[in-house]
Every structure is written in C-alpha cells, then in structure tokens.
Structure 1
C-alpha cells in the first residue's frame, strides 16, 4: 500500500474559527491535484503536524472527505485515498451535465440588464488572453463561470456543482500555462457567453458541455500522467 508523502503548508492561525472547513479544503485540494496517489493511507497525526493543528479537525475533515467520496475507511488500515482516474472522470462528467444545464437556464433567465455585464467579462477575458496575462485569465475564468451561475439563479444546481469541481487554483494554473490552451478556452467561453446573451438555450448548453469535457480531458492528462508513465 503506497504511503502518502504530499507536504501540506501550515494553515493561517487566523483561519482557526472555521478550522474543520479549512482542513477539509486543504486536504481536498491536495487530493484533487493528484498530491496523493489512490490507495495511499492518510496519517492523521502527520497531517495535523504539517497543517499546524490538532488531530480533532483533521478527523472531522476526513469524515467530510469520506462523504465526498474522496477517501474511505478500511478496518485495520485507516483512511485511504479513494480518488483515482475513474473517480475524477466521473466527477468531470457530472460537472459537464450540471454546468451545461446551468448554462441553459442562464440563457433562459438572463435579464436584459445583465447582458452587458457578461459581455464586459468576455471583453476582459479577450484582453487578458491576447496579452498573455495567465494569472488574470485564471481569475476571469472563475468570474465568468460564477457570473453564469448567478444569472441562472439555480442555487440547488450550484450546490451540486461545487461537489464536482475537481479544479483548484494550482490545477487551473497548470492548464492555463499553455498559451494555446488559453486561446482554446477563450473561444469556448465566447461561444458560451454569446449563446447566453442571445438567449439561445440549446447552443449555450451544448457549448458549455463541450468546454467542460475538453478541459476535463486536459486535467486528467496533467494530474494522472505521472501515474501512467
């Protein structure tokens, strides 16, 4: 059984008010970024020492991760990482289905007063992409998707989508480090945004699904390549 060796950065002591959530987020991001190989055993004490916390919030966070399906508890073996290529692929497929439905609803529900805001985000994304501003592209990517979720007014779907989001800032940074990838993403975002502005629900749904699936394939290759080589 592989032993988990990922190094976790200590948490900011000011964040201790919501300690369980912060530990959960730190571990979740490490797992989704491929920091722990599937089957690796997570040592509560080691994790607590790396994060600079007690084992209590770590235990609580691991229970949340088990509910997420990212780890499982084995008798006499402890907590084992359950995230592998198949799990990531399923999460991406689920996210594609949810995000595409949200895009459809956004196209149906967008108000005339909300259209300029979405258009302005696309203008900023175009400027940042053509200017080679990778960090700004990453930020605007999140702004763009968040704006669509807000326009859709689909709170239940938004909660479901949050559970299927395999990307953290590090994963997005790796993906968008390639200028060609940034250009592809821009073209896809423009197709999604223009379909929503035009209130073309079918086109918005199709474009969003294709975008999420293609980006997901890139993520799978980047995260799991080291285990396939």
Structure 2
C-alpha cells in the first residue's frame, strides 16, 4: 500500500497547498501509478490532516489534469506515460522558442545575471546539492524567460510549471543527471549570451527532450501501457 509521510504539524499556514504539493509530487514521481484510486480518508490519516484540505487539493489536481474526479466513483490518478510524454513535448516547443527570443532580446543586465546563475549552478553541482540545484534550475529558466520578454509564451509556460518542478525533483536525485543538466544549462546560457538564436533554441530543445526521456525512464520504465 502506498503511504505518504505526515506533514509537519507546525506548517499550518497554507495547509491545502502543503497537501497539494505532497500529492502532486507523489503522482509525478510515480508513487501513485496511473489508474490508482485515491482514498481521501486514508490520505488524510497518512498526512496527519483532516479530509477538508485533501478534498481541496484533489480538486486542484483535477483542474491540473493529474487526477480525475468521477461523481459517485471517487478520484483516479489520470497522469500516465502518454500524458507525461505530451507534457515534455509541449515544454520542449515552448522553452526552445523562449530561448530563441532570449538570444535575440537579451540585455546587458540579463547577461550579468545569467553569468552569475551559471556560476552558482557550477558550484552547487560540484557540491552535489540536489535541492539547491533544483532551485537554481528554476532560477535559470526564469532568467531565460525574463530575457525573452515574451508575455504570451510566459503564460503558456506557466501552465507547465505544475509538472516541471515535480519532474526536476525526480531526475535530480541521480548524480549523473545533475552533471548532465549543468553541462546542458551552461551550453544554453552560453548560446543566449552569445546572441546565437539558432544554437540557443537547439540547445534548449535537446536539453528538455533528453531530461524528459530520463524522467520517463525513471517513472514509467518506458512502459507505454
């Protein structure tokens, strides 16, 4: 039986969001397999909370497409290999276009910020700090989006964030993945800083697809069924 670790009793602020994040990560990491029926009461007991924040979190997960709430039938995990694959392909298309625009629109302040972020990522990679690398990964991609100044694409990309953070947390537990990710981010940053739009687009697309393949292998073992 799948179990969840109890939440910190002191983390009362934004309890629904704590529950939401715990359940979302359990789904994205494969702890809950596709088609699993989620029992609200059981989840509440495991997390040490009432059923109210669990119900609210499940409604949010339903809106994100990770679960399906069936009237009179309960809640079923909807996220599967096919959904994850589409998620990765969508992100590759959006992020690579953003990287191209960033290379075309980058300003001196953006360049300074990217240099600093890449150095921080290099240091964190050398130290092997997974949590810090996950955070810096998000900082890096945010900096690329900022340099792109693409409002419409930013809105599209924001819809991917519910998946991206969870996927990063899965693959960054692998030390080899952490080094590969740094090398790829450094290449993306160098292309953007050099204002080479073609190289920036290609490097970002290759990175997202390669990291996505690692994620699929880790969570679904390439089982498309």
TM-score range, shorter chain: 0.7 to 0.9
Counterpart CA distance in 1 for 2:165 and 2:128 is: 23
- After superposition, give the CA deviation of every residue in 1:96-144 in whole Å (9 maximum; x if it has no partner): 1221122123223321122122122223333444x35243544433332
Is 1:150 the counterpart of 2:146? The answer is yes
Is 1:133 the counterpart of 2:128? The answer is yes
Counterpart CA distance in 2 for 1:37 and 1:161 is: 21
Counterpart CA distance in 2 for 1:213 and 1:63 is: 30
CA RMSD of aligned residues (A): 2.4
Q: Is the 8 A contact 1:32 1:166 kept in 2?
A: no
- After superposition, give the CA deviation of every residue in 1:169-206 in whole Å (9 maximum; x if it has no partner): 641332x322xx34432332122101111222232122
- Residue 98 of structure 1 is aligned with which of 94, 98, 103? 94
- After superposition, give the CA deviation of every residue in 1:60-83 in whole Å (9 maximum; x if it has no partner): 111111111111123443101111
- After superposition, give the CA deviation of every residue in 1:8-60 in whole Å (9 maximum; x if it has no partner): 12223343332222211111111000000111100000111111111111111
The residue that corresponds to 1:27 in the other structure is: 23
Q: Is the 8 A contact 1:70 1:82 kept in 2?
A: yes
Is 1:117 the counterpart of 2:74? The answer is no
Q: Is the 8 A contact 1:98 1:161 kept in 2?
A: no
Counterpart CA distance in 2 for 1:166 and 1:87 is: 16
Q: Is the 8 A contact 2:37 2:77 kept in 1?
A: yes
How big is the shift at 1:161? 2.8
Structure 1 residues 227, 43: CA separation in 2 closer, same or farther (over 3 Å shift)?
farther
- After superposition, give the CA deviation of every residue in 1:150-172 in whole Å (9 maximum; x if it has no partner): 33344424422314426356413
The residue that corresponds to 1:177 in the other structure is: 175
Counterpart CA distance in 2 for 1:67 and 1:137 is: 29
Is 1:11 the counterpart of 2:7? The answer is yes
Query: TM-score normalized by structure 1?
Result: 0.84
Is 1:69 the counterpart of 2:35? The answer is no
Q: Secondary structure at the match of 1:205?
A: helix
Aligned length, in residue pairs: 220
Query: TM-score normalized by structure 2?
Result: 0.86
Q: Secondary structure at the match of 1:167?
A: helix
Q: Is the 8 A contact 2:104 2:197 kept in 1?
A: yes
